[in-house]
């Protein structure tokens, strides 16, 4: 599936659009046939289709994983990447807004945020609040404005608000949660109801999206219509089983105790089982529908599995999609990998179902795996 704006973005920045789409094979853990949550549409890109490898990961996905593994594990810069030091010190030029969009900056008391809107036929009935990743230690970066464009594309024109919330060590918990709640309140002040807001986030931002929803529920605030959590970090104690079982498989955080997973200053000495810090330890009563996406090789795999199990136990609507062979935050590959393309197609389908009058009754309470 090709999204028009992304093709435009690749033209501007000279990035080559991958031409082959993997043909997905079904795994035994995928949702059963006849699930009322349809699979993302299989739309072929220009060029021939390339089959998935025997292990389920696409050829391009394997190449990307090998390159990332080499960068993170074999090169000197890998230690700085895993610890979050490089991200913390990253200096980027101001993002060039692609022609189809407008971007407006809002300055709040403690942080700033950017609202991306479509110039032609913008949707005014819904908005997406995007909470960026970075281990609660890295500020927003330009990649998240690209993701804002993707969210806009797959949602058919929803405006996307991306706050550059405060991060540790300068501003530990509860700064990020306070800023996320303030950004949500900003949308309410602009006339949106909770039912007109979708909250999305990746990594720490995915965990923050869940923590924000808990906070809103506990303080009798309107809840969002749905939540999209990509590779969410929901257990800052690093106590789930995949932190051990995937320790040697995780090419982003694995094989070291010096990554930001273990050396993280967000909690600042507070109890990491506080649900507003680690939502995996919280209650998911009254939650809106949730889409969880995670790679099978992630140390954070059990973070999503635990949240999904708790949501099901509460009778809530949840879709857990485990992408075979994928690494942490693979969705940030945009549309350059078959797996990331499928993930963004699934996000679009999830949003489409959320917009139905039946309030996502089609979402199947089952785990699925995509390859």
Supply the residues annotated as catalytic.
203, 298, 328
Distance CA 368, CA 29 (A): 6
Distance from the first to the final alpha carbon of the chain = 16
Structure tokens at 134: 């970075």
**Other CB atoms closer than 10 Å to residue 255's CB: what's the count?**
15
The DSSP-derived string for 277-339 is T-GGGS--TT---EEEEEETT-TTHHHHHHHHHHHHHTT--EEEEEETT--TTGGGGTTSSHH
Beta partners for residue 116, in sequence order = 103, 160
Distance CA 247, CA 241 (A): 10
Residue 196 DSSP label = G
Say if CB 149 and CB 204 are below 8 A apart: no
Residue (of 205, 210, 124, 122) closest to 163 by Cα position:
205
């Amino acid at each position: 599936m090709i999204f028009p704006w992304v093709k435009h973005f690749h033209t501007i920045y000279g990035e080559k659009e991958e031409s082959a789409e993997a043909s997905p094979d079904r795994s035994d853990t995928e949702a059963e046939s006849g699930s009322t949550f349809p699979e993302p549409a299989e739309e072929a890109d220009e060029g021939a289709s390339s089959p998935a490898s025997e292990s389920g990961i696409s050829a391009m996905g394997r190449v990307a994983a090998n390159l990332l593994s080499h960068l993170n594990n074999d090169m000197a810069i890998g230690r700085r990447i895993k610890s979050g030091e490089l991200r913390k010190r990253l200096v980027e030029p101001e993002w060039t807004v692609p022609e189809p969009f407008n971007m407006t900056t809002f300055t709040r008391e403690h942080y700033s945020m950017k609202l991306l809107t479509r110039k032609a036929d913008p949707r005014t009935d819904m908005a997406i609040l995007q909470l960026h990743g970075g281990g609660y230690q890295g500020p927003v970066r330009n990649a998240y404005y690209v993701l804002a464009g993707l969210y806009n594309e797959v949602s058919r024109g929803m405006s996307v608000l991306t706050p550059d919330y405060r991060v540790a060590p300068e501003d530990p918990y509860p700064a990020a949660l306070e800023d996320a709640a303030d950004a949500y309140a900003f949308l309410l002040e602009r006339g949106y109801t909770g039912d007109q807001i979708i909250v999305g986030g990746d990594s720490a931002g995915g965990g923050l999206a869940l923590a924000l929803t808990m906070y809103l529920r506990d303080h009798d605030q309107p809840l969002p219509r749905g939540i999209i959590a990509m590779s969410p970090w929901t257990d800052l104690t690093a106590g789930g089983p995949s932190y051990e079982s995937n320790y040697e498989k995780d090419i982003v955080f694995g094989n070291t105790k010096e990554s930001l997973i273990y050396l993280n200053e967000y909690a600042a000495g507070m109890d990491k089982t506080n649900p507003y810090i680690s939502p995996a330890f919280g209650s998911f009563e009254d939650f809106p529908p949730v889409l969880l996406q995670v790679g099978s090789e992630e140390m954070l795999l059990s973070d999503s599995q635990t949240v999904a199990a708790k949501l099901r136990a509460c009778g809530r609507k949840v879709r857990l999609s485990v992408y075979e062979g994928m690494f942490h935050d693979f969705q940030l590959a945009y549309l350059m990998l078959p797996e990331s393309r499928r993930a963004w197609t699934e996000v679009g389908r999830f949003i489409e179902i959320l917009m139905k009058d039946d309030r996502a009754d089609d979402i199947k309470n089952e785990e699925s795996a995509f390859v």
